[in-house]
Amino acid sequence: MHCILYARSRADDKRKEDAHLRQQLFRLRRFAKRQGWPILAEFIDKGESALNLKRAGYQDLLKFCKAEKEGIKVVVTGPDRLFRSLRDCLEFQEKFWRRPVRLVSLEHERAASEQGLSLSDNDLLITYGYR
């Protein structure tokens, strides 16, 4: 299974924003390496709100996923990096329901593993609304 990484940060201080993006990418790369997933691409939105679904990095990610023919994981530190509402999360999942695209959240993976559980793709939808 291959993966793509997505990081987003919005901060008033440019240095904090840059540091936050570097930290997200470090965690995402480390996670992908531990899973043995080759990274096909990285998408970044700097200074953008998750409420804006037209942000460039997010749109590029969607195009990449639509073109992907093999299985792919979209890896984020948390679902709030991609969207801010359960509705937006459900719309993302619906776009790729019949495609081999799955969302992986480090935040949810960690919480599940601490409890000795493993998440299915649909578990993210359930837990997203109850954060």
Q: pLDDT tens digits, residue range 53-87? A: 899 999 999 999 988 878 889 999 988 898 888 88
* Mean pLDDT of the 22-26 span: 95
Give the CATH architecture of domain 2-128.
Answer: 3-Layer(aba) Sandwich (3.40)
By CB neighbour count within 10 A (0-12 exposed, 13-18 middle, 19+ buried), where does 30 fall?
A: exposed
Q: What is the pTM of this model?
A: 0.81
Q: Give the pLDDT band (50/70/90) at residue 108.
A: low
So what's the pLDDT on residue 122?
Answer: 42
Element of type H or E holding 130: none
Element of type H or E holding 2: strand 2-9
Tokens of 33: 């390496």
* Mean pLDDT of the 7-33 span: 88
Euclidean distance between the first and the last CA atom of the chain, given in angstroms as a whole number: 28
From the list 103, 63, 61, the residue with the least C-alpha distance to 80 is 103
Integer CA distances (angstroms), 60 to 55, 65, 128, in order: 9, 9, 23
The answer to whether residue 11 scores a pLDDT higher than 60 is yes
Percent of the chain residues past pLDDT 90, beyond the cut: 35
The answer to whether residue 131 scores a pLDDT higher than 90 is no
3-state SS, residue 1: coil
Q: Give the pLDDT band (50/70/90) at residue 48.
A: confident
Q: What's the rounded Cα separation, in Å, for the pair 112 and 67?
A: 31
Q: Where are the domains of the chain?
A: 2-128
Q: Give the pLDDT band (50/70/90) at residue 99.
A: confident
So what's the pLDDT on residue 39?
Answer: 97
